A and B are shown apart, each in its own frame.
Chain A
Amino acid sequence: EPEVTQTPSHQVTQMGQEVILRCVPISNHLYFYWYRQILGQKVEFLVSFYNNEISEKSEIFDDQFSVERPDGSNFTLKIRSTKLEDSAMYFCASSEASGRIYGYTFGSGTRLTVV
C-alpha cells in the first residue's frame, strides 16, 4: 500500500537553529499538508499546499515557517529559527482531491526536540 515517508524520524536541534523536515507524499496525490502534535495535545493543522502554492495556513504558521516542493516529489517544512515551543511531532499528509471524504494519508511523523 502506498505510504507517506517522513525523514528524519527524530530531530534534535538547538534553539534558534533552522530545521528542515522532509516528506515524500504519495505520488499521485495532489494536496499536501503539515500538521503537528505537541505532547499531550491535539493534532493541529499548520498548512495545506496545492498546485505549488499554499492554499491555506493556520495562525500557527507564521513567518518562521515555510513549505516547499522543490523537485516534484519531496515536500519540506522549514522552521527558520526554532523555539522551545516548536518541540512537537510533525506529521506530513497527502490526499487526492477527495481527501476529506476518504481521508488523508499521514506519514509516521518527525519528532522535533528543541533544546
Chain B
Amino acid sequence: DQQVKQNSPSLSVQEGRISILNCDYTNSMFDYFLWYKKYPAEGPTFLISISSIKDKNEDGRFTVFLNKSAKHLSLHIVPSQPGDSAVYFCAASRGGSNYKLTFGKGTLLTVNP
C-alpha cells in the first residue's frame, strides 16, 4: 500500500547546484504534505510543509512545489551544500486522521564538494 512514493532511492549533486527531490501520491484525500530530513542515528527533522490549497511554499534554500492534478510534489534545494547530504522523506497527512503521517521510502541525497 504505497500511497506516497519516492521513486528515486538516491540522488547525487554537486555543491552549489540545485537538488530536486520528487514525490508522488495516490490518495486524493491528502491535504498536507511535509518533507523531512534524516541523518544516520537521528530521528527525522521537519523541513517544510505545504497545504493542498497552495502550489508553492518557500523557506530559505528550500522550496516545495505541489502539482495537485498530477499528484506530484517536489523539494528544491538551492544552492545545495554538503551538509544537506541526508535521507529526505516525503510525507502526507489526511484531514480528520488526527495528524497521522504517511511516509515515502526516502531518497538519499549526496552533495559532493
Q: Which residues of A approach B to under 8 Å, CB–CB?
A: 4, 31, 33, 35, 41-45, 48, 50, 55-56, 58, 91, 93, 95, 99-109
Query: What residues make up the interface of B, taking CB atoms closer than 8 Å to A?
Result: 32, 34, 36, 41-47, 49, 51, 89, 91, 93, 97-106
- Do the beta carbons of B98 and A48 come within 8 Å of each other? yes
> Please, which residues of chain A bring their CB within 8 A of the CB of B93?
100
Question: A93 — which chain B residues lie within 8 A by C-beta?
Answer: 43
Extra 10 A-B pairs, beta carbons < 8 Å, given A33-B100, A42-B106: A35-B101, A41-B105, A42-B89, A42-B104, A43-B89, A45-B102, A100-B101, A101-B51, A102-B46, A106-B45
Residue of A nearest to B2 (CB): A42
Contacts of A91 in B (CB 8 A): 43-44
Give min CB distance, B100 to chain A, whole Å. Answer: 5
Contacts of B41 in A (CB 8 A): 108-109
Given contacts A56-B98, A103-B36, contact A43 B51 (CB under 8 A): no
Q: CB within 8 A of A101: which of B49, B97, B100, B106?
A: B49
What separation, in Å, do the CA atoms of A5 and B106 have in the docked complex?
A: 23
B104 touches A99 (CB 8 A): no
